[in-house]
Amino acid sequence: MIAETATTTNDASLVQGVAQDSAHLNNLQVSFAEREITDFNCSSRSQRENTSKMEVSEYQEKNIHYLKEIDFLRTKSPIVKILQNMIVNFSHRSCAIESNTLELSESQEIWDRLNKSYNLNNLLKNEKFSPPSTISSSDKSEKEIIEVRNHLLATYFIYNTTHKLNQEINIDGIKKVHRIMLEDTPMEKFCPYHNRKNMQQAGKFRTFVVQSYGEPFTVYPYDVEVSALMEEFMKFYDESKNIAIHPIMISCRLHASLAHIHPFYDGNGRVSRSIMAQYLICNGYLPAIFHQVKREKYINSLRKIQRGKDASLLVFHQNEQMAKLFSRLNF
Protein backbone atom coordinates (compact mmCIF):
# COMPACT_ATOMS: atom_id res chain seq x y z
CA MET A 1 0.00 0.00 0.00
CA ILE A 2 1.34 3.41 -0.89
CA ALA A 3 2.48 5.38 2.13
CA GLU A 4 0.56 8.45 3.23
CA THR A 5 2.51 11.71 2.80
CA ALA A 6 1.72 15.37 3.24
CA THR A 7 1.52 17.65 0.21
CA THR A 8 3.29 20.97 0.58
CA THR A 9 1.34 24.18 0.96
CA ASN A 10 2.74 25.58 -2.29
CA ASP A 11 1.82 22.46 -4.24
CA ALA A 12 -1.64 22.42 -2.70
CA SER A 13 -2.28 26.03 -3.67
CA LEU A 14 -1.10 25.40 -7.20
CA VAL A 15 -3.31 22.33 -7.43
CA GLN A 16 -6.27 24.40 -6.30
CA GLY A 17 -5.46 26.96 -8.95
CA VAL A 18 -5.32 24.31 -11.66
CA ALA A 19 -8.57 22.91 -10.33
CA GLN A 20 -10.44 26.18 -10.39
CA ASP A 21 -9.56 26.80 -14.02
CA SER A 22 -10.32 23.20 -15.00
CA ALA A 23 -13.90 23.83 -13.97
CA HIS A 24 -14.31 25.96 -17.11
CA LEU A 25 -14.25 22.72 -19.09
CA ASN A 26 -17.64 21.73 -17.76
CA ASN A 27 -20.10 21.99 -20.67
CA LEU A 28 -21.85 18.63 -20.50
CA GLN A 29 -23.28 18.80 -17.02
CA VAL A 30 -26.43 20.35 -15.67
CA SER A 31 -26.25 21.79 -12.16
CA PHE A 32 -27.00 19.37 -9.35
CA ALA A 33 -28.98 22.09 -7.62
CA GLU A 34 -31.10 23.25 -10.56
CA ARG A 35 -32.52 21.05 -13.33
CA GLU A 36 -31.99 22.58 -16.77
CA ILE A 37 -32.59 21.37 -20.31
CA THR A 38 -29.28 20.26 -21.86
CA ASP A 39 -28.13 22.50 -24.70
CA PHE A 40 -27.13 20.55 -27.79
CA ASN A 41 -26.70 23.62 -30.00
CA CYS A 42 -23.40 22.90 -31.75
CA SER A 43 -22.38 26.49 -32.46
CA SER A 44 -22.93 27.76 -28.91
CA ARG A 45 -21.29 24.69 -27.39
CA SER A 46 -18.28 25.12 -29.68
CA GLN A 47 -18.00 28.79 -28.74
CA ARG A 48 -18.07 27.96 -25.01
CA GLU A 49 -15.48 25.20 -25.41
CA ASN A 50 -13.12 27.43 -27.41
CA THR A 51 -13.32 30.10 -24.70
CA SER A 52 -12.70 27.48 -22.00
CA LYS A 53 -9.69 26.01 -23.79
CA MET A 54 -8.14 29.47 -24.21
CA GLU A 55 -8.55 30.33 -20.52
CA VAL A 56 -7.17 26.99 -19.33
CA SER A 57 -4.27 27.17 -21.78
CA GLU A 58 -3.33 30.58 -20.38
CA TYR A 59 -3.29 29.18 -16.85
CA GLN A 60 -1.28 26.14 -17.90
CA GLU A 61 1.28 28.42 -19.55
CA LYS A 62 1.71 30.40 -16.34
CA ASN A 63 2.25 27.22 -14.32
CA ILE A 64 3.86 25.01 -16.95
CA HIS A 65 6.86 24.38 -14.69
CA TYR A 66 4.62 22.67 -12.13
CA LEU A 67 2.82 20.49 -14.67
CA LYS A 68 6.11 19.59 -16.35
CA GLU A 69 7.50 18.49 -13.00
CA ILE A 70 4.53 16.17 -12.47
CA ASP A 71 4.95 14.75 -15.95
CA PHE A 72 8.70 14.27 -15.47
CA LEU A 73 8.23 12.38 -12.22
CA ARG A 74 5.47 10.33 -13.79
CA THR A 75 7.88 8.92 -16.37
CA LYS A 76 10.08 7.58 -13.56
CA SER A 77 7.38 5.41 -11.98
CA PRO A 78 6.95 1.69 -12.81
CA ILE A 79 3.24 2.28 -13.26
CA VAL A 80 2.26 -1.17 -14.56
CA LYS A 81 3.53 -2.99 -11.47
CA ILE A 82 2.18 -0.36 -9.13
CA LEU A 83 -1.30 -0.52 -10.65
CA GLN A 84 -1.60 -4.22 -9.84
CA ASN A 85 -0.77 -3.41 -6.22
CA MET A 86 -3.35 -0.62 -6.13
CA ILE A 87 -6.35 -2.75 -7.13
CA VAL A 88 -7.41 -3.41 -3.54
CA ASN A 89 -6.82 0.13 -2.28
CA PHE A 90 -8.64 1.79 -5.17
CA SER A 91 -11.63 -0.58 -5.02
CA HIS A 92 -11.89 -0.41 -1.24
CA ARG A 93 -11.86 3.40 -1.11
CA SER A 94 -14.34 3.67 -3.95
CA CYS A 95 -16.78 1.43 -2.09
CA ALA A 96 -16.12 3.26 1.19
CA ILE A 97 -17.30 6.53 -0.38
CA GLU A 98 -20.61 4.74 -0.98
CA SER A 99 -20.81 3.95 2.77
CA ASN A 100 -19.46 0.39 2.54
CA THR A 101 -18.19 -0.51 6.03
CA LEU A 102 -15.63 -3.23 5.21
CA GLU A 103 -12.14 -2.64 6.54
CA LEU A 104 -9.19 -2.51 4.15
CA SER A 105 -7.92 -5.81 5.57
CA GLU A 106 -11.28 -7.42 4.77
CA SER A 107 -11.12 -6.15 1.20
CA GLN A 108 -7.59 -7.54 0.95
CA GLU A 109 -8.83 -10.93 2.16
CA ILE A 110 -11.51 -10.97 -0.54
CA TRP A 111 -8.90 -10.19 -3.18
CA ASP A 112 -6.55 -12.90 -1.91
CA ARG A 113 -9.33 -15.49 -1.97
CA LEU A 114 -10.37 -14.43 -5.45
CA ASN A 115 -6.84 -15.01 -6.69
CA LYS A 116 -6.72 -18.45 -5.10
CA SER A 117 -10.15 -19.77 -6.06
CA TYR A 118 -10.94 -18.01 -9.33
CA ASN A 119 -9.19 -17.78 -12.68
CA LEU A 120 -9.23 -14.04 -13.14
CA ASN A 121 -8.36 -14.37 -16.82
CA ASN A 122 -11.86 -15.79 -17.34
CA LEU A 123 -13.13 -12.32 -16.56
CA LEU A 124 -11.20 -10.93 -19.51
CA LYS A 125 -12.31 -13.66 -21.92
CA ASN A 126 -15.77 -14.79 -20.87
CA GLU A 127 -18.70 -12.38 -20.96
CA LYS A 128 -20.81 -14.63 -18.69
CA PHE A 129 -18.46 -15.13 -15.77
CA SER A 130 -19.42 -16.78 -12.48
CA PRO A 131 -17.38 -15.32 -9.62
CA PRO A 132 -17.19 -17.31 -6.36
CA SER A 133 -19.66 -16.35 -3.65
CA THR A 134 -17.83 -17.58 -0.52
CA ILE A 135 -14.91 -15.21 -0.43
CA SER A 136 -14.81 -13.65 3.03
CA SER A 137 -14.75 -14.59 6.69
CA SER A 138 -16.11 -11.16 7.58
CA ASP A 139 -19.32 -10.88 9.59
CA LYS A 140 -20.36 -7.87 7.48
CA SER A 141 -23.44 -8.08 5.26
CA GLU A 142 -23.33 -10.20 2.12
CA LYS A 143 -24.34 -7.13 0.12
CA GLU A 144 -21.24 -5.21 1.21
CA ILE A 145 -18.96 -8.20 0.60
CA ILE A 146 -20.31 -8.73 -2.92
CA GLU A 147 -20.04 -5.00 -3.62
CA VAL A 148 -16.33 -5.04 -2.80
CA ARG A 149 -15.81 -8.33 -4.67
CA ASN A 150 -17.39 -6.88 -7.79
CA HIS A 151 -15.41 -3.66 -7.60
CA LEU A 152 -12.18 -5.62 -7.29
CA LEU A 153 -13.08 -7.61 -10.39
CA ALA A 154 -14.11 -4.48 -12.31
CA THR A 155 -10.84 -2.75 -11.40
CA TYR A 156 -8.86 -5.80 -12.45
CA PHE A 157 -10.77 -5.81 -15.74
CA ILE A 158 -10.00 -2.13 -16.38
CA TYR A 159 -6.31 -2.35 -15.47
CA ASN A 160 -5.71 -5.41 -17.64
CA THR A 161 -7.76 -4.46 -20.68
CA THR A 162 -6.13 -1.03 -20.66
CA HIS A 163 -2.57 -2.37 -20.62
CA LYS A 164 -2.79 -5.83 -22.19
CA LEU A 165 -5.40 -5.11 -24.85
CA ASN A 166 -4.81 -1.36 -25.24
CA GLN A 167 -8.54 -0.81 -24.90
CA GLU A 168 -9.67 2.79 -24.69
CA ILE A 169 -12.85 4.12 -23.12
CA ASN A 170 -15.95 3.22 -25.12
CA ILE A 171 -19.67 2.68 -24.50
CA ASP A 172 -19.44 -1.12 -24.54
CA GLY A 173 -16.57 -1.02 -22.06
CA ILE A 174 -18.48 1.29 -19.71
CA LYS A 175 -21.45 -1.08 -19.82
CA LYS A 176 -19.18 -4.07 -19.16
CA VAL A 177 -17.73 -2.39 -16.08
CA HIS A 178 -21.26 -1.68 -14.85
CA ARG A 179 -22.31 -5.27 -15.51
CA ILE A 180 -19.42 -6.55 -13.38
CA MET A 181 -20.23 -4.05 -10.61
CA LEU A 182 -23.83 -5.25 -10.28
CA GLU A 183 -23.27 -9.01 -10.59
CA ASP A 184 -25.28 -10.89 -7.89
CA THR A 185 -26.63 -7.67 -6.35
CA PRO A 186 -30.30 -6.76 -5.81
CA MET A 187 -29.97 -4.09 -8.52
CA GLU A 188 -28.72 -6.52 -11.17
CA LYS A 189 -32.35 -7.18 -12.10
CA PHE A 190 -34.79 -4.63 -10.80
CA CYS A 191 -37.89 -2.63 -11.68
CA PRO A 192 -38.99 0.42 -9.64
CA TYR A 193 -42.60 0.05 -10.74
CA HIS A 194 -44.96 -2.04 -8.63
CA ASN A 195 -46.52 -5.18 -10.08
CA ARG A 196 -44.02 -5.35 -12.93
CA LYS A 197 -41.44 -8.01 -13.60
CA ASN A 198 -37.84 -7.19 -12.73
CA MET A 199 -35.73 -6.19 -15.71
CA GLN A 200 -32.03 -6.55 -16.40
CA GLN A 201 -30.31 -3.36 -15.19
CA ALA A 202 -26.66 -4.45 -15.11
CA GLY A 203 -24.85 -3.23 -18.20
CA LYS A 204 -27.85 -1.38 -19.60
CA PHE A 205 -28.70 2.30 -19.69
CA ARG A 206 -31.62 3.18 -17.46
CA THR A 207 -35.16 3.50 -18.76
CA PHE A 208 -36.47 5.35 -15.70
CA VAL A 209 -36.21 8.84 -14.28
CA VAL A 210 -33.91 8.86 -11.25
CA GLN A 211 -33.76 11.35 -8.41
CA SER A 212 -31.67 12.02 -5.34
CA TYR A 213 -33.55 13.06 -2.24
CA GLY A 214 -30.53 14.49 -0.48
CA GLU A 215 -29.72 18.17 -0.11
CA PRO A 216 -30.12 19.64 -2.64
CA PHE A 217 -32.88 17.60 -4.26
CA THR A 218 -31.64 16.35 -7.63
CA VAL A 219 -33.41 15.20 -10.78
CA TYR A 220 -30.86 13.71 -13.15
CA PRO A 221 -31.23 13.95 -16.94
CA TYR A 222 -34.33 12.14 -18.15
CA ASP A 223 -33.86 8.59 -19.35
CA VAL A 224 -34.70 9.60 -22.94
CA GLU A 225 -31.68 11.95 -22.86
CA VAL A 226 -29.16 9.36 -21.69
CA SER A 227 -28.14 7.92 -25.07
CA ALA A 228 -27.62 11.38 -26.60
CA LEU A 229 -25.68 12.57 -23.54
CA MET A 230 -23.45 9.50 -23.67
CA GLU A 231 -22.76 10.20 -27.33
CA GLU A 232 -21.71 13.73 -26.33
CA PHE A 233 -19.61 12.23 -23.54
CA MET A 234 -17.76 10.01 -26.02
CA LYS A 235 -17.42 12.87 -28.49
CA PHE A 236 -15.66 14.97 -25.88
CA TYR A 237 -13.44 12.01 -24.96
CA ASP A 238 -12.41 11.55 -28.60
CA GLU A 239 -11.81 15.27 -29.11
CA SER A 240 -9.79 15.52 -25.89
CA LYS A 241 -6.98 13.56 -27.56
CA ASN A 242 -6.25 16.52 -29.80
CA ILE A 243 -6.57 19.48 -27.44
CA ALA A 244 -3.84 21.06 -25.32
CA ILE A 245 -5.47 20.51 -21.94
CA HIS A 246 -3.75 18.55 -19.19
CA PRO A 247 -5.03 14.95 -18.75
CA ILE A 248 -5.71 15.52 -15.07
CA MET A 249 -8.17 18.28 -15.98
CA ILE A 250 -9.79 16.09 -18.62
CA SER A 251 -10.23 13.27 -16.11
CA CYS A 252 -12.10 15.58 -13.73
CA ARG A 253 -14.57 16.50 -16.42
CA LEU A 254 -15.08 12.88 -17.52
CA HIS A 255 -15.76 11.82 -13.94
CA ALA A 256 -18.15 14.65 -13.16
CA SER A 257 -19.94 14.37 -16.51
CA LEU A 258 -20.57 10.64 -16.20
CA ALA A 259 -21.69 11.02 -12.59
CA HIS A 260 -24.21 13.66 -13.60
CA ILE A 261 -25.52 11.90 -16.70
CA HIS A 262 -26.21 9.01 -14.32
CA PRO A 263 -26.64 6.57 -17.23
CA PHE A 264 -27.46 3.58 -15.01
CA TYR A 265 -30.11 2.94 -12.40
CA ASP A 266 -27.48 2.13 -9.76
CA GLY A 267 -23.69 2.07 -9.42
CA ASN A 268 -22.98 5.35 -11.22
CA GLY A 269 -20.47 6.61 -8.67
CA ARG A 270 -18.37 3.43 -8.75
CA VAL A 271 -18.47 3.32 -12.53
CA SER A 272 -17.57 7.00 -13.02
CA ARG A 273 -14.60 6.73 -10.63
CA SER A 274 -13.48 3.62 -12.50
CA ILE A 275 -13.71 5.31 -15.90
CA MET A 276 -11.77 8.29 -14.53
CA ALA A 277 -9.13 5.80 -13.38
CA GLN A 278 -9.05 4.17 -16.81
CA TYR A 279 -8.48 7.54 -18.47
CA LEU A 280 -5.64 8.40 -16.11
CA ILE A 281 -4.02 4.99 -16.61
CA CYS A 282 -4.25 5.36 -20.40
CA ASN A 283 -2.35 8.63 -20.04
CA GLY A 284 0.31 7.25 -17.73
CA TYR A 285 -1.05 8.55 -14.42
CA LEU A 286 -2.09 6.72 -11.29
CA PRO A 287 -5.81 6.53 -10.50
CA ALA A 288 -7.25 8.87 -7.90
CA ILE A 289 -7.76 7.15 -4.55
CA PHE A 290 -9.85 9.22 -2.16
CA HIS A 291 -8.21 8.49 1.18
CA GLN A 292 -10.25 9.49 4.22
CA VAL A 293 -12.61 11.68 2.22
CA LYS A 294 -16.11 12.06 3.58
CA ARG A 295 -18.89 11.38 1.11
CA GLU A 296 -20.45 14.81 1.68
CA LYS A 297 -17.20 16.58 0.80
CA TYR A 298 -16.73 14.39 -2.26
CA ILE A 299 -20.29 15.00 -3.53
CA ASN A 300 -19.97 18.73 -2.93
CA SER A 301 -16.79 18.73 -5.01
CA LEU A 302 -18.63 17.05 -7.88
CA ARG A 303 -21.41 19.62 -7.63
CA LYS A 304 -18.91 22.46 -7.83
CA ILE A 305 -17.41 21.01 -11.00
CA GLN A 306 -20.86 20.67 -12.51
CA ARG A 307 -21.59 24.32 -11.68
CA GLY A 308 -18.33 25.34 -13.31
CA LYS A 309 -16.76 26.63 -10.11
CA ASP A 310 -14.15 24.32 -8.61
CA ALA A 311 -12.49 20.92 -8.90
CA SER A 312 -9.85 21.21 -6.20
CA LEU A 313 -10.72 18.03 -4.30
CA LEU A 314 -10.62 15.74 -7.32
CA VAL A 315 -7.46 17.26 -8.78
CA PHE A 316 -5.77 17.33 -5.39
CA HIS A 317 -6.29 13.61 -4.81
CA GLN A 318 -5.16 12.69 -8.30
CA ASN A 319 -1.91 14.60 -7.88
CA GLU A 320 -1.53 13.37 -4.31
CA GLN A 321 -1.12 9.82 -5.61
CA MET A 322 1.97 10.90 -7.52
CA ALA A 323 3.43 12.56 -4.42
CA LYS A 324 2.85 9.41 -2.35
CA LEU A 325 4.47 7.24 -4.98
CA PHE A 326 7.58 9.38 -5.31
CA SER A 327 7.96 9.57 -1.53
CA ARG A 328 7.71 5.79 -1.29
CA LEU A 329 10.23 5.18 -4.09
CA ASN A 330 12.54 8.05 -3.02
CA PHE A 331 12.43 9.81 -6.40
CATH of the domain at 128: 1.10.3290.10
Residue 87, in any domain of the structure = yes
Residue 250, in any domain of the structure = yes
Q: What is the pLDDT of residues 223-232, one digit of tens each?
A: 999 999 999 9
Among 4-13, 39-48, 260-269, the range of highest mean pLDDT: 260-269
Residue 59, in any domain of the structure = yes
pTM of the predicted model as reported, rounded to 2 decimal places: 0.76
Residue 13, in any domain of the structure = yes
Beta bridge partners, 218, equal: 212
Q: Which residue range(s) make up the domain with 264?
A: 9-29+39-329
Are the C-beta atoms of residues 289 and 317 closer than 8 Å to each other? yes
Residue 34, in any domain of the structure = no
Residue 1, in any domain of the structure = no
Number of domains comprising the chain: 1
pLDDT of residue 304: 67
Residue 50, in any domain of the structure = yes
> How far separated are the first and last CA of the chain, in Å rounded?
17
- Tell whether the model's pLDDT for residue 47 goes beyond 60: no
Quickly list DSSP for 254-303: HHHHHHHH--SSS-HHHHHHHHHHHHHHHTT-PPP--TT--HHHHHHHHH
Q: What is the pLDDT of residues 248-284, one digit of tens each?
A: 778 888 998 999 999 999 999 999 999 999 998 888 8
Residue 154, in any domain of the structure = yes
pLDDT of residue 228: 96
pLDDT, greater one: 92 or 35: 92
